Structure 1
Amino acid sequence: MSSIADYRVYPLISSLETVECLEDQVHVKWADQRLSPFHYLWLRDNCPCSECVYGVTREQVFEIADVPENLRPHSAEIDPEGLLLINWEDGHRSRFEPGWLRAHAYDDASRQEQLERRGQKHYWHHDLDLPVFDYQGVMEEPEILLQWLLALRDIGLTQVRNVPTDPESLIALAKRISFIRESNFGVLFNVKPKADADSNAYTPFNLPLHTDLPTRELQPGLQFLHCLINQASGGDSLFVDGFSVARALQEEDPAAFRHLCEIPVEFRNKDRNSDYRCLAPIIALDARGEIAEVRMANFLRGPFTTAPQLMPALYHAYRRFIELSREPRFQFRRRLNEGELWCFDNRRSLHARDAFDPTSGVRHLQGCYVDRDELLSRILVLERQRML
C-alpha cells in the first residue's frame, strides 16, 4: 500500500525521535523536543494510503464511520525510512511522512505556527505605504504575481500601474488570479456618467464610503477599478480600512461593536429588472472570532428592523461606525490616473469617490470582481509551485 502524496511539498522540519501509545492517542516526540499528541481516530481518518485516498483526485474515499469508535493500533513505531508506522487492530497499516505530520500537528505550538503561516492582517490608516506593482511584472513573473496577491490578502488595498488603456484590457489582469465574477452590472462595468443610470456610481455625484454589492449573500471579494482616461476635475478616490475602523470601535465602544456584529441590517439594490436584498450584520467575525468582513453602503440600506429596545443602540452603533470612518486618521486619498488600477478587498476596504465635473473632461473607469476564495486558492498554488 503506497502513500498518496499531497499536491504540496512538506519539508522535514524535525525528524521523529520517539513514539508512545497511550489510551486513546499516540504521543510523538520530535528531535527538537516538541511533543505532539495524535488521537487514534485522527490518525486513521488521515491515512494517506491508496486504499483510503484515490490517487487521481487526491480525495479521500475512506469514511471514519466505517471503523469502530474505540479503534486502537496493535503497534506504533518509526520505520527505517523515518516515517510513523501504525499497525491497526483490523489489519490496516498507515504510514505518515514526518513533514506532513508536523505540518498538521495540533499541539498548541504547532497550531500557532499554522495560524501564522496563514498570513497576518496589516491594519492601515491615512499614512498607508501603498503597495504598488507594475503590470508587466504581474503578468509575466510568478513571484511578482504572488507578492501582489499576498498584499491583497494581508493589506487589502493595492495599485497596479502601466496598465494598457485599451477597453477590456482589465480582463487579462483579473484572469491572472482566476475567472471573473459576473453580476447584474455585467462581467465588466463601465464607471462613467449615464443618462439612465441604475447606480449612483454612474453619475458624477459624490459616492460615500461603501463596499460594493452588500445586497448579496456573498459580497464580491476583490474589486478592480481601471482608469482608461481621467481628464475631469475632482473624482479623487478615498479608501478606509474597514477592519481598522471596526477594531477602533471595538476598543472605544465595545457595546456598539457587539451590536454591529449581532444585529442584522438589510441592504437592497433594485432597478427596473432586478431586486437584490440581503439581511446580515455590518461586521462579520470568522470562526476564530476575528474581524473577517465589513458590509456597508448607506445608499443601499433599507429601514432598520430590530426589537424596539435595541433600536436606539443600533442607531448609536451605526452612527459611530460612520463617524469613525470619516476621521482623517483613517482616510487614504489618491487620484487615479490613466493606466493605473485599484485592486482591493471589497469585503474589507471601504471606498468612496469625490464628486467630479463631467464638463471639465472625460472620466472613464472599468471595473470587475473576483471572489476572495479565488485569491486564496491562487496564492496556495503559487506557493506550492515555488516549493517544487
Structure 2
Amino acid sequence: MNTAAAVADFRSYPLISALTTVQSLADRVLVKWADGRVSPFHHQWLRDNCPCPVCVYTVTREQVLEIVDVAEDLSPAVTQVDALGCLSIAWLDGHTSRFDPGWLRAHAYDDESRIERRAGKPKSQRWNSQLTLPVFEYQAVMDDPNVLLQWLLALRDIGLTQVRGIPTEPGSLTSIAKRISFIRESNFGVLFNVQSKADADSNAYTAFNLPLHSDLPTRELQPGLQFLHCLVNDADGGESIFVDGFAIADALRQEDPEAFRALCEIPVEFRNKDRHSDYRCLAPIIALDALGQVSEIRMANFLRGPFDASVEQMPKLYRAYRRFIAMTRETCFRHMTRLNPGEMWCFDNRRTLHARNAFDPASGARHFQGCYIDRDELLSRILVLQR
C-alpha cells in the first residue's frame, strides 16, 4: 500500500514499515519503525526537506525554501507520530512539518537504510560473446508502453539491444528514437547516413573496417545512446561487432590494477577534425562514478591525438592502452552478427564499444541511418514509465 499524506514529489512511496515512536535529542530526532529499525534525522535535514506548500511550490514540486533562511540552531517544540501515522514536528519558530512515513523510510540515512537503498539500485549486467541479445519488435515498442519499458530497461542494464520490423524508408528511425526523447543533433546532423562516399568526413563513411570504439569521444559529453538502422545491406562483409566495455574494464581491473588505474587517471586527447569543425576533448579512457564503479569508456583509436603524459607515465599509459585494445580483440568478449534491412541496433555508446568489418561497396549497396540520444533521457523515460 501507499501512504496517503502528500509528499513533495511526483512519485508514490510504499509503506514498508509504520512509524511507532519518535524521540527528541539535542540536534536530531530518533524514529523507531515497526520492524525495529531506528533512524536518526537531524533537525537541519528535516527542516530542509519539509514538503509543505510554504517550502515547496506545489505546481512544480520544486523547493522554495533555502536552509540558510532558517536558524542554524533550530529545534522542535513538539514531535509526534500523528493519527495518520506521519511524523509531525512543530518547530519553535512556529513552522510545522509533516512527513509521510513511506517517503521518510525511502530517504532514511541510517547505515542499514543506506546499504539497503544502494543494494536496491539497478545494476548493469556484464556480458561477453555468449550474450543472448535482447530483441524487440518495432510495432510493439511503438504501441505498448510495457514493451517500451522492457526495451529501455534492457538498454539501461545490458547496453545492447536490437529492434526488428522497422520500415526501411529513410527517416523511419526518427519515430522510434522519439519514443524515448528528443534526438541529440551533432555536426553529422540529426540523422546521419552511414554509407561509403568519396568525400568522407569520417572513417565511418568509408568501406574500411572500423575498430571497436565509442562515437564522439571528442565531445565533453559522449552521446549516451546510439541508434543504427539498416535500410539496405547487400554488400559483402560489414558485420557488426560489439564488446561490453564495462566487462573489459572490470577484467583489466582484476588482471592488472596498475594498468586499470593508468587508464582511469591519465587523460588522453581525442580529436575530430574536418574542413569545417575541430572538436577536442581531454579525458581518461575509463571514467568512474562517485562510488568507484566504471561509468564510461571513451575510446576511438582513429580519433586519438598523440599521448601527452609525463616521461614517467608514458610507458605505463602505452602498456595499459595496448592491453585494453588487445582485450577488445579477444573472441571471448566479442559479439558479432550481421544487421539486416529493417533491423536496428540501439546501444549504450558510453559503455558498449562497436566495430564494423570492412565491406566491398562494389558487391552491393550498404546504407544505415543513425542518431543519438543522451543517457539522461533514457533514465528519465524509465522513471516516468515506472511511476
TM-score range, shorter chain: over 0.9
Q: Name the amino acid aligned to 2:314.
A: M
Deviation string 1:74-118 (CA, Å, 9 cap, x unpaired) is 121100111000111111110000111111111223223322343
SS of 1:225's equivalent in the other structure is strand
Q: Find 2:84's aligned residue among 81, 84, 98.
A: 81
Q: Find 2:247's aligned residue among 219, 244, 247.
A: 244
- The answer to whether the aligner puts 1:148 opposite 2:151 as a matched pair is yes
SS of 1:193's equivalent in the other structure is coil
- The answer to whether the aligner puts 1:56 opposite 2:59 as a matched pair is yes
Once residues 120 and 177 of structure 2 are traced to their aligned partners in structure 1, the CA distance between those partners, rounded to angstroms, is 25
Deviation string 1:327-378 (CA, Å, 9 cap, x unpaired) is 1111111111111100000000000000011111111100000000000000
Q: Name the amino acid aligned to 2:233.
A: N
**Gaps (5+ residues) in structure 1?**
none
**Gaps (5+ residues) in structure 2?**
none
1:175 is matched with 178
Q: Find 2:70's aligned residue among 67, 70, 82.
A: 67
Once residues 6 and 292 of structure 2 are traced to their aligned partners in structure 1, the CA distance between those partners, rounded to angstroms, is 36
1:35 is matched with 38
Q: Is the 8 A contact 2:7 2:100 kept in 1?
A: no
SS of 1:359's equivalent in the other structure is helix
Q: Is the 8 A contact 2:8 2:62 kept in 1?
A: no
1:358 is matched with 361
Superposition map of 1:107-256 within 5 A? 107-256=110-259
Once residues 69 and 311 of structure 1 are traced to their aligned partners in structure 2, the CA distance between those partners, rounded to angstroms, is 51
Q: Is the 8 A contact 2:243 2:352 kept in 1?
A: yes
Deviation string 1:201-225 (CA, Å, 9 cap, x unpaired) is 1111100000000000000000000
1:321 is matched with 324
- Aligned residues: percent identity? 70
Deviation at 1:166, TM superposition (A): 1.1
Once residues 6 and 252 of structure 2 are traced to their aligned partners in structure 1, the CA distance between those partners, rounded to angstroms, is 50
Deviation at 1:20, TM superposition (A): 1.1
Once residues 365 and 194 of structure 2 are traced to their aligned partners in structure 1, the CA distance between those partners, rounded to angstroms, is 11
Once residues 133 and 294 of structure 2 are traced to their aligned partners in structure 1, the CA distance between those partners, rounded to angstroms, is 22
* Of 201-210 and 68-77, the range deviating more from structure 2: 68-77
Q: Is the 8 A contact 2:7 2:103 kept in 1?
A: no
1:342 is matched with 345
Deviation string 1:117-145 (CA, Å, 9 cap, x unpaired) is 43111000110111111111111111111
Deviation at 1:12, TM superposition (A): 1.0
Once residues 296 and 222 of structure 2 are traced to their aligned partners in structure 1, the CA distance between those partners, rounded to angstroms, is 9
Deviation string 1:22-47 (CA, Å, 9 cap, x unpaired) is 22211111111111111111110000
SS of 1:328's equivalent in the other structure is coil
Q: Is the 8 A contact 1:73 1:87 kept in 2?
A: yes
- The answer to whether the aligner puts 1:24 opposite 2:27 as a matched pair is yes
Q: Is the 8 A contact 2:7 2:99 kept in 1?
A: no
Once residues 106 and 149 of structure 1 are traced to their aligned partners in structure 2, the CA distance between those partners, rounded to angstroms, is 30
Q: Find 1:270's aligned residue among 268, 273, 279.
A: 273
Q: Name the amino acid aligned to 2:216.
A: L
Once residues 20 and 6 of structure 2 are traced to their aligned partners in structure 1, the CA distance between those partners, rounded to angstroms, is 21
1:304 is matched with 307
Q: How many residue pairs end up in the alignment?
A: 383
Q: Is the 8 A contact 1:225 1:368 kept in 2?
A: yes
Deviation string 1:232-260 (CA, Å, 9 cap, x unpaired) is 11000000000001001100000110111
Once residues 373 and 64 of structure 1 are traced to their aligned partners in structure 2, the CA distance between those partners, rounded to angstroms, is 28
Deviation at 1:3, TM superposition (A): 4.8
Deviation at 1:4, TM superposition (A): 5.0
SS of 2:355's equivalent in the other structure is strand
